[in-house]
Chains A and B, each alone.
Chain A
Amino acid sequence: MGIFIIFISLSIYFIGTKFIQTPEIIALIVLLTALVLLVISFFITNSFERLAEANRLKSEFISIASHQLRTPISNFKWTLELLFSGKLGKFSPKQLEYLRILKDNSERMIETLKDLLIVTKLETASLPFKREYFSLDELTKEVIEQFKNLALAYNVEIETNFQKNLPKIFSSREQIKLVIENLLENAILYTKGKGKVLIKIETKDKMVYFEIRDNGIGIPKEDQKFIFQKFFRASNVLKYQTRGTGLGLFISKKIIQRSGGKIGFQSEENKGSKFWFSIPIK
Protein backbone atom coordinates (compact mmCIF):
# COMPACT_ATOMS: atom_id res chain seq x y z
CA MET A 1 0.00 0.00 0.00
CA GLY A 2 2.88 2.38 0.91
CA ILE A 3 4.58 1.76 -2.43
CA PHE A 4 1.29 2.48 -4.20
CA ILE A 5 0.93 5.83 -2.37
CA ILE A 6 4.56 6.81 -3.21
CA PHE A 7 4.00 5.81 -6.85
CA ILE A 8 0.76 7.83 -7.16
CA SER A 9 2.31 10.86 -5.38
CA LEU A 10 5.37 10.80 -7.69
CA SER A 11 3.15 10.43 -10.76
CA ILE A 12 1.04 13.41 -9.69
CA TYR A 13 4.23 15.39 -9.05
CA PHE A 14 5.64 14.68 -12.52
CA ILE A 15 2.32 15.34 -14.25
CA GLY A 16 1.90 18.51 -12.17
CA THR A 17 5.33 19.89 -13.17
CA LYS A 18 4.23 19.75 -16.82
CA PHE A 19 0.98 21.70 -16.36
CA ILE A 20 1.39 23.82 -13.22
CA GLN A 21 4.08 26.44 -12.90
CA THR A 22 3.90 27.17 -9.16
CA PRO A 23 5.89 24.56 -7.16
CA GLU A 24 3.93 25.34 -3.94
CA ILE A 25 0.63 24.35 -5.59
CA ILE A 26 2.17 21.13 -6.93
CA ALA A 27 3.50 20.30 -3.46
CA LEU A 28 0.08 21.01 -1.95
CA ILE A 29 -1.71 18.77 -4.48
CA VAL A 30 0.80 15.95 -3.91
CA LEU A 31 0.45 16.28 -0.16
CA LEU A 32 -3.34 16.30 -0.29
CA THR A 33 -3.42 13.25 -2.59
CA ALA A 34 -1.03 11.36 -0.33
CA LEU A 35 -3.17 12.26 2.69
CA VAL A 36 -6.40 11.08 1.04
CA LEU A 37 -4.76 7.83 -0.06
CA LEU A 38 -3.35 7.32 3.42
CA VAL A 39 -6.80 7.67 4.99
CA ILE A 40 -8.32 5.28 2.42
CA SER A 41 -5.57 2.72 2.95
CA PHE A 42 -6.04 2.96 6.73
CA PHE A 43 -9.73 2.09 6.38
CA ILE A 44 -9.03 -0.76 3.95
CA THR A 45 -6.33 -2.31 6.18
CA ASN A 46 -8.54 -1.88 9.20
CA SER A 47 -11.51 -3.63 7.61
CA PHE A 48 -9.27 -6.50 6.41
CA GLU A 49 -7.94 -6.90 9.93
CA ARG A 50 -11.46 -6.91 11.33
CA LEU A 51 -12.53 -9.49 8.74
CA ALA A 52 -9.56 -11.71 9.61
CA GLU A 53 -10.34 -11.34 13.31
CA ALA A 54 -14.02 -12.20 12.74
CA ASN A 55 -12.96 -15.26 10.76
CA ARG A 56 -10.54 -16.34 13.48
CA LEU A 57 -13.23 -15.90 16.15
CA LYS A 58 -15.70 -17.91 14.07
CA SER A 59 -13.21 -20.79 13.69
CA GLU A 60 -12.35 -20.60 17.38
CA PHE A 61 -16.04 -20.69 18.29
CA ILE A 62 -16.67 -23.78 16.11
CA SER A 63 -13.60 -25.47 17.59
CA ILE A 64 -14.61 -24.78 21.22
CA ALA A 65 -18.26 -25.68 20.58
CA SER A 66 -17.26 -28.95 18.86
CA HIS A 67 -14.91 -29.89 21.70
CA GLN A 68 -17.49 -29.03 24.35
CA LEU A 69 -20.20 -31.02 22.57
CA ARG A 70 -18.06 -34.09 22.12
CA THR A 71 -18.14 -35.18 25.76
CA PRO A 72 -21.93 -35.10 26.24
CA ILE A 73 -22.49 -36.72 22.84
CA SER A 74 -20.02 -39.53 23.65
CA ASN A 75 -21.80 -40.05 26.97
CA PHE A 76 -25.10 -40.14 25.11
CA LYS A 77 -23.79 -42.68 22.59
CA TRP A 78 -22.26 -44.97 25.22
CA THR A 79 -25.34 -44.82 27.44
CA LEU A 80 -27.50 -45.80 24.46
CA GLU A 81 -25.14 -48.67 23.69
CA LEU A 82 -25.52 -49.84 27.28
CA LEU A 83 -29.31 -49.76 26.98
CA PHE A 84 -29.09 -51.47 23.62
CA SER A 85 -26.90 -54.28 24.94
CA GLY A 86 -29.74 -55.55 27.11
CA LYS A 87 -27.50 -55.51 30.20
CA LEU A 88 -30.02 -53.31 32.01
CA GLY A 89 -33.06 -55.35 30.95
CA LYS A 90 -34.92 -56.29 27.82
CA PHE A 91 -36.79 -53.89 25.52
CA SER A 92 -39.69 -54.55 23.22
CA PRO A 93 -38.95 -54.64 19.46
CA LYS A 94 -40.69 -51.27 19.06
CA GLN A 95 -38.58 -49.71 21.84
CA LEU A 96 -35.45 -51.20 20.28
CA GLU A 97 -36.38 -49.67 16.92
CA TYR A 98 -36.53 -46.21 18.51
CA LEU A 99 -33.34 -46.81 20.45
CA ARG A 100 -31.65 -47.61 17.15
CA ILE A 101 -32.83 -44.30 15.70
CA LEU A 102 -31.30 -42.49 18.69
CA LYS A 103 -28.07 -44.47 18.36
CA ASP A 104 -27.75 -43.78 14.61
CA ASN A 105 -28.32 -40.09 15.21
CA SER A 106 -25.78 -39.90 18.01
CA GLU A 107 -23.24 -41.42 15.59
CA ARG A 108 -24.16 -38.82 12.98
CA MET A 109 -23.61 -36.04 15.49
CA ILE A 110 -20.18 -37.45 16.35
CA GLU A 111 -19.25 -37.65 12.65
CA THR A 112 -20.37 -34.05 12.08
CA LEU A 113 -18.40 -32.78 15.05
CA LYS A 114 -15.31 -34.66 13.91
CA ASP A 115 -15.58 -33.19 10.40
CA LEU A 116 -16.25 -29.70 11.77
CA LEU A 117 -13.08 -29.85 13.83
CA ILE A 118 -11.04 -30.95 10.80
CA VAL A 119 -12.54 -28.13 8.71
CA THR A 120 -11.73 -25.55 11.38
CA LYS A 121 -8.18 -26.84 11.67
CA LEU A 122 -7.76 -26.81 7.89
CA GLU A 123 -9.11 -23.27 7.63
CA THR A 124 -6.91 -21.92 10.39
CA ALA A 125 -3.96 -23.95 9.05
CA SER A 126 -3.54 -25.53 12.49
CA LEU A 127 -3.85 -29.11 11.27
CA PRO A 128 -0.25 -30.38 11.33
CA PHE A 129 0.84 -31.57 7.92
CA LYS A 130 3.50 -34.13 8.78
CA ARG A 131 5.01 -35.33 5.52
CA GLU A 132 6.48 -38.80 5.14
CA TYR A 133 7.15 -41.34 2.37
CA PHE A 134 4.42 -43.93 2.02
CA SER A 135 2.79 -46.21 -0.56
CA LEU A 136 -0.61 -45.05 -1.69
CA ASP A 137 -1.58 -48.60 -2.68
CA GLU A 138 -0.74 -49.99 0.78
CA LEU A 139 -2.71 -47.20 2.42
CA THR A 140 -5.66 -47.82 0.08
CA LYS A 141 -5.64 -51.55 0.94
CA GLU A 142 -5.76 -50.59 4.62
CA VAL A 143 -8.77 -48.31 4.06
CA ILE A 144 -10.59 -50.98 1.98
CA GLU A 145 -10.09 -53.44 4.86
CA GLN A 146 -11.56 -50.86 7.23
CA PHE A 147 -14.67 -50.46 5.03
CA LYS A 148 -15.16 -54.18 4.39
CA ASN A 149 -18.16 -54.48 6.69
CA LEU A 150 -19.84 -51.32 5.38
CA ALA A 151 -19.40 -52.56 1.80
CA LEU A 152 -20.92 -55.89 2.79
CA ALA A 153 -23.86 -54.17 4.47
CA TYR A 154 -24.55 -52.09 1.36
CA ASN A 155 -23.99 -55.00 -1.02
CA VAL A 156 -21.07 -53.30 -2.73
CA GLU A 157 -18.18 -55.15 -4.29
CA ILE A 158 -14.79 -53.41 -4.27
CA GLU A 159 -12.27 -54.20 -7.01
CA THR A 160 -8.75 -52.86 -7.32
CA ASN A 161 -6.38 -52.34 -10.19
CA PHE A 162 -3.01 -51.12 -8.86
CA GLN A 163 -0.02 -50.61 -11.11
CA LYS A 164 2.97 -52.70 -10.00
CA ASN A 165 6.01 -51.02 -8.38
CA LEU A 166 4.29 -47.74 -7.71
CA PRO A 167 6.65 -45.05 -6.38
CA LYS A 168 6.09 -43.79 -2.85
CA ILE A 169 4.61 -40.36 -2.36
CA PHE A 170 5.79 -37.70 0.09
CA SER A 171 2.77 -36.32 1.87
CA SER A 172 0.75 -36.56 5.08
CA ARG A 173 -0.27 -40.21 5.37
CA GLU A 174 -2.88 -39.41 7.99
CA GLN A 175 -4.60 -36.78 5.85
CA ILE A 176 -4.45 -38.67 2.55
CA LYS A 177 -6.07 -41.53 4.46
CA LEU A 178 -8.94 -39.16 5.30
CA VAL A 179 -9.36 -38.39 1.58
CA ILE A 180 -9.47 -42.08 0.59
CA GLU A 181 -11.89 -42.79 3.44
CA ASN A 182 -14.20 -39.99 2.27
CA LEU A 183 -14.14 -41.07 -1.37
CA LEU A 184 -14.63 -44.76 -0.61
CA GLU A 185 -17.40 -44.08 1.91
CA ASN A 186 -19.26 -41.95 -0.65
CA ALA A 187 -18.83 -44.62 -3.33
CA ILE A 188 -20.29 -47.25 -0.99
CA LEU A 189 -23.09 -45.20 0.53
CA TYR A 190 -24.50 -43.69 -2.63
CA THR A 191 -25.39 -46.89 -4.42
CA LYS A 192 -28.71 -48.36 -5.38
CA GLY A 193 -29.07 -52.11 -5.21
CA LYS A 194 -25.93 -54.07 -5.98
CA GLY A 195 -22.98 -51.75 -6.26
CA LYS A 196 -19.55 -52.03 -7.77
CA VAL A 197 -16.56 -49.87 -6.92
CA LEU A 198 -13.32 -49.95 -8.86
CA ILE A 199 -10.17 -48.32 -7.49
CA LYS A 200 -7.27 -47.72 -9.83
CA ILE A 201 -3.82 -46.38 -8.92
CA GLU A 202 -1.12 -45.65 -11.49
CA THR A 203 1.59 -43.14 -12.34
CA LYS A 204 0.71 -40.33 -14.72
CA ASP A 205 2.96 -37.36 -15.64
CA LYS A 206 5.23 -37.52 -12.56
CA MET A 207 2.16 -37.90 -10.36
CA VAL A 208 0.59 -40.85 -8.60
CA TYR A 209 -2.97 -40.96 -9.86
CA PHE A 210 -5.82 -42.41 -7.78
CA GLU A 211 -9.22 -43.07 -9.29
CA ILE A 212 -12.40 -44.45 -7.74
CA ARG A 213 -15.33 -45.34 -9.94
CA ASP A 214 -18.78 -46.43 -8.83
CA ASN A 215 -22.08 -47.31 -10.46
CA GLY A 216 -24.10 -45.40 -7.89
CA ILE A 217 -26.71 -42.67 -8.05
CA GLY A 218 -24.36 -40.07 -9.56
CA ILE A 219 -24.51 -36.30 -9.11
CA PRO A 220 -27.20 -34.25 -10.91
CA LYS A 221 -25.69 -31.89 -13.47
CA GLU A 222 -27.02 -28.75 -11.76
CA ASP A 223 -25.38 -29.77 -8.46
CA GLN A 224 -21.97 -30.60 -9.85
CA LYS A 225 -20.45 -27.14 -9.52
CA PHE A 226 -21.21 -27.03 -5.79
CA ILE A 227 -19.92 -30.50 -4.92
CA PHE A 228 -16.71 -29.37 -3.18
CA GLN A 229 -18.47 -26.67 -1.17
CA LYS A 230 -18.86 -26.88 2.59
CA PHE A 231 -22.12 -28.55 3.77
CA PHE A 232 -23.34 -29.11 0.22
CA ARG A 233 -25.22 -32.34 -0.37
CA ALA A 234 -26.61 -33.18 -3.79
CA SER A 235 -30.40 -33.16 -4.09
CA ASN A 236 -30.67 -36.86 -5.05
CA VAL A 237 -28.37 -37.95 -2.20
CA LEU A 238 -30.83 -36.77 0.43
CA LYS A 239 -33.46 -39.14 -0.96
CA TYR A 240 -31.25 -42.21 -0.60
CA GLN A 241 -28.96 -41.54 2.30
CA THR A 242 -29.25 -39.56 5.50
CA ARG A 243 -25.72 -40.41 6.57
CA GLY A 244 -23.04 -37.91 5.60
CA THR A 245 -22.09 -34.46 6.80
CA GLY A 246 -21.58 -32.58 3.54
CA LEU A 247 -18.01 -31.87 4.61
CA GLY A 248 -16.08 -34.87 3.28
CA LEU A 249 -15.41 -33.58 -0.23
CA PHE A 250 -14.63 -30.07 1.02
CA ILE A 251 -12.05 -31.57 3.43
CA SER A 252 -10.66 -33.82 0.67
CA LYS A 253 -10.15 -30.92 -1.73
CA LYS A 254 -8.37 -28.83 0.93
CA ILE A 255 -6.05 -31.72 1.80
CA ILE A 256 -5.18 -32.53 -1.82
CA GLN A 257 -4.47 -28.85 -2.49
CA ARG A 258 -2.17 -28.75 0.56
CA SER A 259 -0.35 -31.77 -0.88
CA GLY A 260 0.31 -29.91 -4.12
CA GLY A 261 -2.04 -32.24 -5.97
CA LYS A 262 -5.25 -32.02 -7.96
CA ILE A 263 -8.71 -33.47 -7.39
CA GLY A 264 -11.68 -33.78 -9.73
CA PHE A 265 -14.63 -35.86 -10.80
CA GLN A 266 -16.96 -36.85 -13.59
CA SER A 267 -20.48 -37.95 -12.88
CA GLU A 268 -23.74 -38.79 -14.51
CA GLU A 269 -26.98 -39.07 -12.60
CA ASN A 270 -28.25 -42.66 -12.21
CA LYS A 271 -25.10 -44.05 -13.87
CA GLY A 272 -22.32 -43.37 -11.39
CA SER A 273 -19.37 -41.20 -10.53
CA LYS A 274 -15.62 -41.19 -10.97
CA PHE A 275 -13.55 -39.24 -8.46
CA TRP A 276 -9.81 -38.87 -8.88
CA PHE A 277 -6.84 -37.15 -7.32
CA SER A 278 -3.16 -36.98 -8.15
CA ILE A 279 -0.21 -36.30 -5.88
CA PRO A 280 3.27 -35.34 -7.13
CA ILE A 281 6.04 -37.91 -6.75
CA LYS A 282 8.97 -36.27 -4.93
Chain B
Amino acid sequence: MKKILFIEDESALQRTFEEALKDEGFEMISALDGEIGLKMAKEKNPDLILLDLILPKIEGMEVLKKLKEDEKTKDIPVIVLTHLEELEKVEKAMELGAKAYLVKGEYSLNEVVERIKKVLGLK
Protein backbone atom coordinates (compact mmCIF):
# COMPACT_ATOMS: atom_id res chain seq x y z
CA MET B 1 0.00 0.00 0.00
CA LYS B 2 1.45 3.36 -1.06
CA LYS B 3 1.85 5.91 1.70
CA ILE B 4 1.07 9.57 1.16
CA LEU B 5 2.09 12.35 3.54
CA PHE B 6 -0.25 15.34 3.41
CA ILE B 7 1.28 18.50 4.92
CA GLU B 8 -1.69 20.83 5.33
CA ASP B 9 -2.91 22.97 8.21
CA GLU B 10 -6.61 22.52 7.40
CA SER B 11 -7.74 19.41 9.25
CA ALA B 12 -11.11 19.35 7.44
CA LEU B 13 -9.30 19.09 4.12
CA GLN B 14 -7.10 16.32 5.48
CA ARG B 15 -10.15 14.29 6.46
CA THR B 16 -11.68 14.69 2.99
CA PHE B 17 -8.45 13.56 1.34
CA GLU B 18 -7.99 10.71 3.77
CA GLU B 19 -11.37 9.28 2.76
CA ALA B 20 -10.81 9.83 -0.94
CA LEU B 21 -7.32 8.29 -0.88
CA LYS B 22 -8.32 5.38 1.34
CA ASP B 23 -10.94 4.45 -1.20
CA GLU B 24 -8.27 4.35 -3.90
CA GLY B 25 -6.10 2.04 -1.82
CA PHE B 26 -3.64 4.57 -0.38
CA GLU B 27 -2.62 5.11 3.20
CA MET B 28 -2.57 8.76 4.20
CA ILE B 29 -0.57 10.24 7.05
CA SER B 30 -0.88 13.89 7.90
CA ALA B 31 1.06 16.78 9.36
CA LEU B 32 -0.52 20.08 10.41
CA ASP B 33 2.60 22.25 10.08
CA GLY B 34 5.86 22.43 8.18
CA GLU B 35 8.02 21.36 11.09
CA ILE B 36 6.09 18.15 11.81
CA GLY B 37 5.84 17.58 8.06
CA LEU B 38 9.63 17.58 7.65
CA LYS B 39 10.06 15.29 10.65
CA MET B 40 7.46 12.81 9.33
CA ALA B 41 8.96 12.86 5.85
CA LYS B 42 12.26 11.64 7.35
CA GLU B 43 10.80 9.14 9.79
CA LYS B 44 7.84 7.63 7.95
CA ASN B 45 9.41 7.35 4.51
CA PRO B 46 6.28 8.21 2.42
CA ASP B 47 5.98 7.39 -1.29
CA LEU B 48 4.65 10.86 -2.10
CA ILE B 49 4.19 14.18 -0.33
CA LEU B 50 1.22 16.47 -0.90
CA LEU B 51 2.31 19.90 0.27
CA ASP B 52 0.43 23.12 1.01
CA LEU B 53 2.45 26.36 0.82
CA ILE B 54 0.91 28.45 3.58
CA LEU B 55 1.89 26.53 6.69
CA PRO B 56 2.58 27.36 10.32
CA LYS B 57 6.14 27.16 11.73
CA ILE B 58 7.98 26.44 8.46
CA GLU B 59 6.29 27.63 5.28
CA GLY B 60 5.75 25.23 2.37
CA MET B 61 8.39 26.55 -0.01
CA GLU B 62 11.03 26.21 2.72
CA VAL B 63 9.79 22.68 3.48
CA LEU B 64 10.17 21.78 -0.20
CA LYS B 65 13.71 23.22 -0.27
CA LYS B 66 14.70 21.28 2.86
CA LEU B 67 13.15 18.06 1.53
CA LYS B 68 15.17 18.32 -1.66
CA GLU B 69 18.40 19.11 0.21
CA ASP B 70 18.15 16.10 2.49
CA GLU B 71 19.63 12.83 1.15
CA LYS B 72 16.92 10.86 2.95
CA THR B 73 13.96 12.73 1.42
CA LYS B 74 15.24 14.21 -1.84
CA ASP B 75 13.80 11.43 -4.03
CA ILE B 76 10.28 11.53 -2.59
CA PRO B 77 8.02 13.10 -5.25
CA VAL B 78 6.25 16.26 -4.05
CA ILE B 79 2.97 17.68 -5.37
CA VAL B 80 2.24 21.25 -4.29
CA LEU B 81 -1.44 21.83 -3.50
CA THR B 82 -2.16 25.46 -2.67
CA HIS B 83 -4.46 28.36 -3.44
CA LEU B 84 -1.52 30.60 -4.34
CA GLU B 85 -1.51 30.88 -8.11
CA GLU B 86 1.18 33.49 -8.79
CA LEU B 87 3.38 32.43 -11.68
CA GLU B 88 6.59 33.10 -9.73
CA LYS B 89 5.45 30.68 -7.01
CA VAL B 90 4.75 27.98 -9.62
CA GLU B 91 8.14 28.56 -11.24
CA LYS B 92 9.96 28.53 -7.90
CA ALA B 93 8.28 25.31 -6.75
CA MET B 94 9.04 23.55 -10.04
CA GLU B 95 12.63 24.83 -9.90
CA LEU B 96 13.00 23.41 -6.40
CA GLY B 97 11.91 20.02 -7.72
CA ALA B 98 8.13 19.71 -7.26
CA LYS B 99 6.56 17.17 -9.62
CA ALA B 100 3.33 19.15 -10.03
CA TYR B 101 1.74 22.38 -8.86
CA LEU B 102 -2.02 22.26 -8.37
CA VAL B 103 -4.10 25.31 -7.50
CA LYS B 104 -6.89 24.49 -5.04
CA GLY B 105 -10.32 25.11 -6.45
CA GLU B 106 -9.21 24.56 -10.04
CA TYR B 107 -9.05 20.78 -9.70
CA SER B 108 -11.68 18.32 -8.65
CA LEU B 109 -10.90 15.85 -5.89
CA ASN B 110 -10.79 13.12 -8.50
CA GLU B 111 -8.33 15.07 -10.66
CA VAL B 112 -5.97 15.50 -7.71
CA VAL B 113 -6.15 11.75 -6.97
CA GLU B 114 -5.50 10.99 -10.65
CA ARG B 115 -2.46 13.28 -10.59
CA ILE B 116 -1.12 11.48 -7.51
CA LYS B 117 -1.47 8.15 -9.33
CA LYS B 118 0.27 9.56 -12.40
CA VAL B 119 3.23 10.89 -10.39
CA LEU B 120 3.51 7.52 -8.66
CA GLY B 121 3.54 5.81 -12.04
CA LEU B 122 0.30 3.95 -11.33
CA LYS B 123 -1.37 5.21 -14.51
Indicate if the CB atoms of B110 and A85 lie closer than 8 Å.
Answer: yes
Query: Given known contacts A81-B109, A85-B110, A88-B19, is B10 in contact with A75 (CB within 8 Å)?
Result: yes
**B 90-123 to A, binary, CB cutoff 8 A, 1 in contact else 0:** 0000000000000011101110000000000000
In the assembled complex, A99 has its CB within 8 A of some CB on chain B: no
Indicate if the CB atoms of A71 and B23 lie closer than 8 Å.
Answer: no
Indicate if the CB atoms of A70 and B110 lie closer than 8 Å.
Answer: no
Indicate if the CB atoms of B87 and A128 lie closer than 8 Å.
Answer: yes
Give the number of A-B contacts (CB < 8 Å).
Answer: 51
Q: What number of B residues sit within 8 Å (CB to CB) of A?
A: 17
Indicate if the CB atoms of A82 and B20 lie closer than 8 Å.
Answer: yes
A10 to B16, CA, bound (A): 75
Indicate if the CB atoms of A78 and B13 lie closer than 8 Å.
Answer: yes
Indicate if the CB atoms of A74 and B110 lie closer than 8 Å.
Answer: no
In the assembled complex, B66 has its CB within 8 A of some CB on chain A: no
In the assembled complex, B83 has its CB within 8 A of some CB on chain A: yes
Query: Given known contacts A70-B105, A73-B105, A88-B19, is B12 in contact with A79 (CB within 8 Å)?
Result: yes
Indicate if the CB atoms of B109 and A78 lie closer than 8 Å.
Answer: yes
**B 79-91 to A, binary, CB cutoff 8 A, 1 in contact else 0:** 0000100011000
**Could you tell me the distance in whole angstroms from the C-beta of A173 to the nearest C-beta in chain B?**
11
Indicate if the CB atoms of B87 and A75 lie closer than 8 Å.
Answer: no
Q: Which positions 39-54 of chain A face chain B at CB distance < 8 Å?
A: none
User: Which of A73, A78, A81, A114 has the most chain B CB atoms inside 10 A of its CB?
Assistant: A78
Q: Could you say which of B10, B20, B105 contacts A87, with CB atoms under 8 Å apart?
A: B20
Query: Given known contacts A67-B83, A70-B83, is B16 in contact with A87 (CB within 8 Å)?
Result: no
Instruction: Pick the 8 closest A-B CB pairs, nearest first.
Output: A74-B104, A70-B83, A81-B109, A110-B105, A74-B105, A78-B109, A87-B23, A75-B13
A residues with a Cβ closer than 8 A to B are: 67, 70-71, 73-75, 77-79, 81-82, 85, 87-88, 110, 113-114, 128, 130, 174
B residues with a Cβ closer than 8 A to A are: 10, 12-13, 16-17, 19-20, 23, 83, 87-88, 104-106, 108-110
